[in-house]
Amino acid sequence: MPITPDQQAEIDELRSNAKPTLRAVAEGMEGHLYKAYDVLDHGFIRVIDYMGDDAAICQAARVSYGKGTKSVQNDEGLIRYLMRHWHSTPFEMCEIKLHVKLPVFVARQWIRHRTANVNEYSARYSILDREFYIPEPDKLAAQSVINNQGRGEALTGDEAARVLEYLKGDAARCYDHYAEMISDDGQQGLARELARMNLPANIYTQWYWKVDLHNLFHFLRLRADSHAQYEIRVYADEICKVVADWVPAAYGAFEDYRMGGATLSSKAIDCVRRMLKGEEVTQETSGMSKGEWREFEGVLNDPA
């Protein structure tokens, strides 16, 4: 189960004991505090704490830029200016702390984003639960033939059934041996820090993850992208929903300039200018490599 009875009892107690505060409060975030949102088959995210709001971003920017912001008439306009011109430090004034339950192989992708504070459940001291990520049948896909990091067509029929059986059987067998090795039933038992190495990468772990908004946006830009691996993307998608309620102006600018925008090279900009003048530009006359041209065409022709 994603949330244990003890965790739910803790959540209920925390939500029932509201406390007055003089600090800035984001009303949209208050509704998310402590609530757990299910992800995958046993995972979840939940907000433990946060600091700052859209106003905190503007406050920091006005301290930093002083008279340089006076031409901006409102907070949303200022935030869009900051996002548009890559002024990142004001966004670092906001922070969020999440409790995340996720498969180990997803955690190993996630931890590549090193600009955060992390404390993970330790299998040196504690025994991991018997919970494994088993994909839904429609998420079992073959290796992509054009992208070494991607998926191709979904497996079907006997092939899909065989793979699912392997995933379930191997996970169960590894956990059985793990439990047997740490057992002290009539014998000393193997140390937990050694026994854990036999566990599969689809077992669930948990951590507290604290990050500022600037670095969170970087995480979301990569992991909520349609090209990201599904198993980490669904976590990013849930976090996006929370952030949109927490800092709506900042998230709107992020969606517009980062998620929905594109970065063009000087060669690409030159091609756009030539096209606007009516010139027919091809890859051969663009000055770009085939890969660059393909990506440039993708930006121009993306229906989104």
Give yes or no: 223 in active site. yes
Number of Cα atoms under 13 Å in the Cβ half of residue 272: 12
Q: Which of 62, 112, 223, 274 is catalytic?
A: 223
* C-alpha distances out from residue 50 to 13, 46, 113, 116, 255, Å: 18, 11, 19, 14, 21
Instruction: Report pLDDT for 72.
Output: 55
Per-residue model confidence (pLDDT) at position 69: 58
**Nearest 10 degrees: Cα torsion 55, 256, 48, 88:** -60
Contact 198, 233 (CB under 8 A): no
DSSP string over 255-289: IIIIIS-----HHHHHHHHHHHTT----HHHHT--
Q: Does residue 166 carry a pLDDT above 80?
A: yes
How many Å apart are CA 10 and CA 92, to the nearest integer?
30
- The average pLDDT across 205-228 equals 96
- What are the angstrom distances between the C-alpha of 2 and each of 38, 283, 302? 7, 51, 37
pLDDT for position 151: 73
Give the pLDDT score at 8.
Answer: 84
Q: Which CATH number fits domain 5-133+203-259: 3.30.1360.170, 3.30.390.50, 3.40.50.2300, 3.50.50.60?
A: 3.30.1360.170
Question: Does the pLDDT at position 100 exceed 70?
Answer: yes
Which among 204, 150, 205, 199 has a CA at the least distance from the CA of 178? 199
Mean pLDDT, rounded, for 32-60: 95
